[in-house]
Structure 1
């Protein structure tokens, strides 16, 4: 009742606002949608500006910045969201359950054998909008899919082996594209259908220069109409967008809002103030420590809470001494009081063990209680045993090593001094090197990162989470882990089409790699998302594919009358 009374006072007694605040989310989505207005968002990556607009750059954040205008073959089926009575929250960075995938550009698909292939039929009548200086409006065809795939696969920046299971891709008619495989791959749809690197775009965009945001053009609900590095991305409504949304038994043309604006704000206090004052309609990433104050100062805000889809760890390069010795790596894990971090640093808003698998992955995830004792030990604070292991490894007086940390993460900037204090108690000192994100990412991708590297790494999905971090020479492998036997298990994992068998393989690999401790495994925090009551048809969903929120934003509308009555 206190929230309602506060809302009443702040809104000068508006009964309409009281009704909106008291109304359950399901009832709000039944209201008639409104068109128009601008949606201002501090996204999950509010501190990070766009890193690239060219799909051939193989950049992890591409879908986040281009996914409002570049579509893919598949996407999340948002009709199965919890908001709509389903079971999926759609928080995951790059995991779509098999029962929650729909065709986006693909209308249907069918498996065939001899040779193993999937035939994908595209929706007819999907149009690229007119883009002066780049292209005239025309229909999407199968040739666009073939072009997009081939340009990605042949890029000098391509991840080695990423498409090794694909034999060829061809357009068999104007609206049919066939992917022929040389072997089954468990990530087949993710890798070219809805993953980080699989948007479909016209050849004209590449010919005009895909690195220039001004040349970007796609079939999505919005068009990129402005970009200011370090400040904002602005997306304007695509007037010829093809998709519709059924609400209350009626179909509505998408998108509802005229513009979506991503605000890039590096300072935490500034983006929290922007939310509190209504300059942001949605802020997708809020640390637990800011929640209570926001609930007091802006009681009308709506909330969701989700376990971070990025695991936190301090990677130790196993190709450098003394981290080539497992006793040292285990010692550093024992030296850090992880239970205390959960309780004190995160105020209880974290899970002790939630990486490299995520609890949202169902049977793929095993809790710490089900792990072998040697794994459980790594999450138990034991500085005396840590000292003993260091002595056995030949470094009884400890050692010093450099740890790189990104200035883009307020959480890590606050966490690293605490980790340093724990390690110093067992004689290990760290030199902290704070880096801007571009340099920080480059250090890892070029394998020039320091012996210590504090980072978040997206869980992605149950298979990719393991492969990208621990397969020999993988890009996202800051510990430089290399084990031919593990590589063979990872290959077997991908070739296994039976999901129950694949679950067992993944569980086995997870136990093994956690036990070998290439990282100081750290707790995974809960994150909060908040939005104002005038944001409708939304319940905190974050991604409709690999870090791609575009289909979610296309279905949001802004109750402009309510916003005005609330003084914004």
Structure 2
């Protein structure tokens, strides 16, 4: 390695960094076969447990302008499970990735925390383990400078080097540390090579320009950076030695995993403000809610709208946040039998969409009367389009001014028009089919799925319910590759449009449940994935959504179209505007939380 690369090249300027971040606006193509959420996520929950306020009612967990930050204290929170492995390259478990690895390990970059509003969620990245990067005009080479103050937690207690970064990627690819390739290997398939230029500089060569690369390396669910001693000095399946704001304090299998502040965090030394974070395993949501009401947890979520009044009555000065969700429920249409009615005529698919009373579903899921009783402002009724409503500026609103009037009609509840479309398509008496769904996502998910089935019956589409076992049927077959007959209610979860397009519409993707193979669409998506201009990429994202609405390959439903509610004790401060949609709470939120 050359020892003085950065003396020759100069330190990365703010302009260079910002130019680099402007090249990417959309993110993670996570095509691994992992269903969305833990098995107790329910009632319109965000699957990852990441919180971001959309509707704030009883105060936001942020400091008043005159308050002085108070350091110390332990932040008490619920973990839905104790991870079966602590190795983040082996599992996409949300507790592992978000609550443990996302706090203990650093990533090269992280997503920027922003307030919830018209620009939420942000797709911008900010430096974490690196100070910045340099990329030439062709977008094929990224040169990154490791933060000179970055240190590994004890017992390693040494500086993070470029060799650690290279090791991490080699381990992810199954070429180092005795590891097999990560199950989500395809997420970094754009990388051709990784090498250390000197002790503090890493260079990535890409196979082709990629609008996904920086987002991938900023995602909690892809590649946290591990030390070269992984697998020798410590077993990554049993513990974690990272360089993040918090480090492992104590572990009690099946019971708790507790963290303490790392005083040598490279983005400190004033932060993190807390002394530690106690993660107690509480599998039952009702038990967790009771613990919050009793003051034993500092935060809890998701909370069903019907439970918010009880929380507000029980907890003085409780803070309630409603958060937009970037996940969605939709009806997939089996691609196994090309003679099925929905393959013969787009009017059949349009009829299915028009049969869904989206406003009624929204009211069932988000209980406006219960919200009013709790003093929570009723959220705006938003409909998923071909992308989820939670994607903000990247979402083509079916009720908004940017969608063509003719396309809007496809989302409007109209039983008579739906019946007429079926008749015109050659199905005046409707048709019968199987209807697959699972119950793992909770009571509201099941209710939502069954209400959609009833609505389709009103236009003559008679469905036979097939409740898929999550582990043996739904995940490997229905969700994982579209191996089902008839229709299926699918829960899909990403945080950006590129992931959705690549996963749901490219041929061969395991998350293309409807087995869509549209050459024109494929070409457009592939060009989009290589487009490094954020502005033109956003225009194309909206345009592709219009095209998908014309085709209506999947039928958008309503699950997760509204907010998911998280509650905080009255003394929690510091989150302010530091909110992310899915990945990064351990970087942008946990270090700045404090207790008044």
TM-score range normalised by the length of the shorter chain: 0.7 to 0.9
CA 1:146/1:393 → structure 2, altered by over 3 Å: closer, same or farther?
farther
- What is the alpha-carbon distance in structure 2 between the residues aligned to residue 220 and residue 258 of structure 1? 13
1:197 Cα offset (Å): 0.4
CA 1:88/1:220 → structure 2, altered by over 3 Å: closer, same or farther?
farther
Deviations 1:209-253 (A, max 9, x none): 8662x2322111223456678x655232154441445xxxxx614
- What is the SS of the residue equivalent to 1:118? strand
- What is the alpha-carbon distance in structure 1 between the residues aligned to residue 388 and residue 196 of structure 2? 37
- What is the alpha-carbon distance in structure 1 between the residues aligned to residue 287 and residue 185 of structure 2? 40
Matched, 1:63 2:91: no
- What is the SS of the residue equivalent to 1:242? coil
Contact 2:151-2:266 at 8 Å conserved across structures = no
Within-5 A mapping of 1:189-204: 189-194=214-219, 196-204=221-229
Contact 2:351-2:417 at 8 Å conserved across structures = yes
- What is the alpha-carbon distance in structure 2 between the residues aligned to residue 357 and residue 480 of structure 1? 17
Matched, 1:331 2:363: no
Deviations 1:354-377 (A, max 9, x none): 444456656433322332344322
Matching residue within 543, 562, 571 for 1:534: 571
- What is the alpha-carbon distance in structure 1 between the residues aligned to residue 473 and residue 255 of structure 2? 21
CA 1:197/1:450 → structure 2, altered by over 3 Å: closer, same or farther?
same
- What is the SS of the residue equivalent to 2:475? helix
CA 1:462/1:436 → structure 2, altered by over 3 Å: closer, same or farther?
closer
1:275 is matched with which residue? 292
1:47 Cα offset (Å): 5.2
2:12 is matched with which residue? none
Contact 2:351-2:419 at 8 Å conserved across structures = yes
- What is the alpha-carbon distance in structure 1 between the residues aligned to residue 540 and residue 319 of structure 2? 40
1:105 Cα offset (Å): 0.5
Across the two proteins, how many residue pairs are aligned to each other?
512
Matching residue within 411, 430, 435 for 1:402: 435
- What is the SS of the residue equivalent to 1:199? coil
Contact 2:301-2:567 at 8 Å conserved across structures = yes
CA 1:113/1:89 → structure 2, altered by over 3 Å: closer, same or farther?
closer
CA 1:502/1:58 → structure 2, altered by over 3 Å: closer, same or farther?
farther
Matched, 1:387 2:419: yes
Matched, 1:506 2:531: no
- What is the alpha-carbon distance in structure 2 between the residues aligned to residue 47 and residue 453 of structure 1? 27
Deviations 1:175-231 (A, max 9, x none): 10011223321122112244520210123324578662x2322111223456678x6
1:259 is matched with which residue? 277
Within-5 A mapping of 1:120-159: 120-131=144-155, 136-154=156-174, 156-159=181-184
* Higher RCO (CA 8 Å, separation ≥ 6 residues): 2
Contact 2:77-2:277 at 8 Å conserved across structures = no
- What is the alpha-carbon distance in structure 2 between the residues aligned to residue 510 and residue 457 of structure 1? 16
RMSD value, Cα:
3.4
Matched, 1:104 2:128: yes
CA 1:355/1:153 → structure 2, altered by over 3 Å: closer, same or farther?
farther
- What is the SS of the residue equivalent to 1:294? helix
2:322 is matched with which residue? 305
2:305 is matched with which residue? 288
Within-5 A mapping of 1:435-514: 435-436=469-470, 440-444=474-478, 446-447=480-481, 449-451=483-485, 452-514=487-549
What residue ranges of structure 2 are gaps of 5+ in the alignment?
1-57, 175-179, 369-378
1:77 Cα offset (Å): 4.4
1:430 Cα offset (Å): 3.3
1:299 Cα offset (Å): 4.4
1:72 Cα offset (Å): 0.1
1:141 Cα offset (Å): 1.1
Deviations 1:144-176 (A, max 9, x none): 111212222345455575334322111101110
CA 1:356/1:290 → structure 2, altered by over 3 Å: closer, same or farther?
farther
- What is the SS of the residue equivalent to 2:320? strand
TM-score, normalised relative to structure 1: 0.79
- What is the SS of the residue equivalent to 2:540? helix
Matching residue within 547, 553, 557 for 1:518: 553
CA 1:49/1:90 → structure 2, altered by over 3 Å: closer, same or farther?
farther
- What is the alpha-carbon distance in structure 2 between the residues aligned to residue 88 and residue 68 of structure 1? 26
Contact 1:357-1:465 at 8 Å conserved across structures = yes
1:14 is matched with which residue? none
2:394 is matched with which residue? 364
Deviations 1:479-504 (A, max 9, x none): 22222221110111122222222122
- The answer to which structure has the higher helix fraction is 1
- What is the SS of the residue equivalent to 2:72? coil
1:17 is matched with which residue? none
2:22 is matched with which residue? none
CA 1:363/1:307 → structure 2, altered by over 3 Å: closer, same or farther?
closer
Deviations 1:270-312 (A, max 9, x none): 3332322222211132232322332233342012222222122
- What is the alpha-carbon distance in structure 2 between the residues aligned to residue 515 and residue 225 of structure 1? 54
1:375 is matched with which residue? 407
TM-score, normalised relative to structure 2: 0.76
- What is the alpha-carbon distance in structure 1 between the residues aligned to residue 463 and residue 136 of structure 2? 58
- What is the SS of the residue equivalent to 2:64? helix
- What is the alpha-carbon distance in structure 1 between the residues aligned to residue 493 and residue 184 of structure 2? 17
**Greater Cα offset, 530-539 or 290-299:** 290-299
**Greater Cα offset, 201-210 or 518-527:** 201-210
